[in-house]
Amino acid sequence: MSTVTVSAGEDYFAAMGVPLIIGRALRHRDGGKDERKAVVSESLAMQLFGRTDVLGWRIVVESGEEPHPVEIVGVAGEARQLSVFQPPAPTLYYPVADRTSYAFYVTLKTDVDRAAVLATAREAALAVDPRLAVERTAAMSAMLRDRVRHVRLRVVLMASLAGLAALLAMIGISGVVAHFLSEQTRDVGIRLALGAAARREVGRIVRHALLPTGVGLAFGVMVALALSRVMESFLFGIEPSDPTTYVAATALLLGAAALAAWIPARRTAAIDPARVLNRDA
């Protein structure tokens, strides 16, 4: 089974905001070859045992050395360890004392100035051993921004192009409706003179304009569903065929089309029927 392993100190879960569902966090004395302890993620506990109340249970771990038993002292909530774009993976948390690698992260949580804390942390690490190579110090928020910067750029670019396309579509719909109404001014004037309410005329014109818009949207939704997998790399936290997103986008486009048609329709319905009839007399 593929499992992510994380070396965690006593305050790791509190600092990273990973909730402990049951049990306790790891302690420094939990390391060593005799009484090895570990915390497992909820998904790992479910995969191994089909339940989460597994405190005191033991698992056999193979991690580049001879298989050894590890006692479970806690079950933690899910956390994205590999990437912000990948779902949480089954995770096994080891005490820091059991770590055999020479490269690791130190996580600090503070309410004071972060720049000062980072500088102090670097000085403290070098004070322990001047030969230590502190590769980088950065705030978690800055690291997350770096990871999603390219995705954010693509999303902003696509949103800008989509907004421009929607604006051009609104201008086009408004122009087509205005041209149609310029040839229907007399008919609208006659309906108003015969007692038709201006509001009903506006609604009739808007409905007439929304009919081809609805057909185009239906075709666009089918094309979008067919090409949804192409857009999967741009999405985060939602499925490519998320129904709520499609419903919201369709409603937004229909609303924009209705607004584009309402503007010339409202202007035409405000004409004076007597002037229209006298002009044609």
Q: pLDDT digit string (tens) for 29-76?
A: 766 666 688 888 998 888 888 888 888 888 887 765 677 788 888 898
Predicted local distance difference test score (pLDDT) of residue 209: 80
Higher pLDDT, residue 216 or 234: 216
* The CA-based dihedral angle spanning residues 138, 143, 149, 150, taken in that order and rounded to the nearest 10 degrees: 110
- pLDDT band at residue 231 using 50, 70 and 90 as cut-offs: low
**Mean pLDDT value of segment 123-130:** 81
Predicted local distance difference test score (pLDDT) of residue 158: 82
Distance CA 158, CA 227 (A): 15
What is the value of pTM for the model shown?
A: 0.55
Does residue 267 surpass a pLDDT of 60? Answer: yes
- pLDDT band at residue 236 using 50, 70 and 90 as cut-offs: low
Structure tokens at 278: 């006298």
Exposed / middle / buried, residue 195 (Cβ in 10 Å: 0-12, 13-18, 19+) = exposed
Higher pLDDT, residue 182 or 76: 76
* The CA-based dihedral angle spanning residues 134, 136, 137, 140, taken in that order and rounded to the nearest 10 degrees: -130
Predicted local distance difference test score (pLDDT) of residue 63: 63
Predicted local distance difference test score (pLDDT) of residue 32: 62
Least confident of 22-26, 109-113, 160-164, 220-224: 109-113
Predicted local distance difference test score (pLDDT) of residue 173: 81
DSSP state of 17: T
Q: In the chain, pLDDT over 90 holds for what percent of residues?
A: 0
**Mean pLDDT value of segment 121-140:** 78
Predicted local distance difference test score (pLDDT) of residue 222: 85
Least confident of 48-52, 120-124, 142-146, 272-276: 272-276
Distance CA 151, CA 236 (A): 10
3-state helix, strand, coil in the chain (%, to 5): 55, 10, 35
- Tell me how far the alpha carbon of residue 280 is from its chain's centroid: 59
pLDDT, averaged across the chain: 78
- pLDDT band at residue 232 using 50, 70 and 90 as cut-offs: low
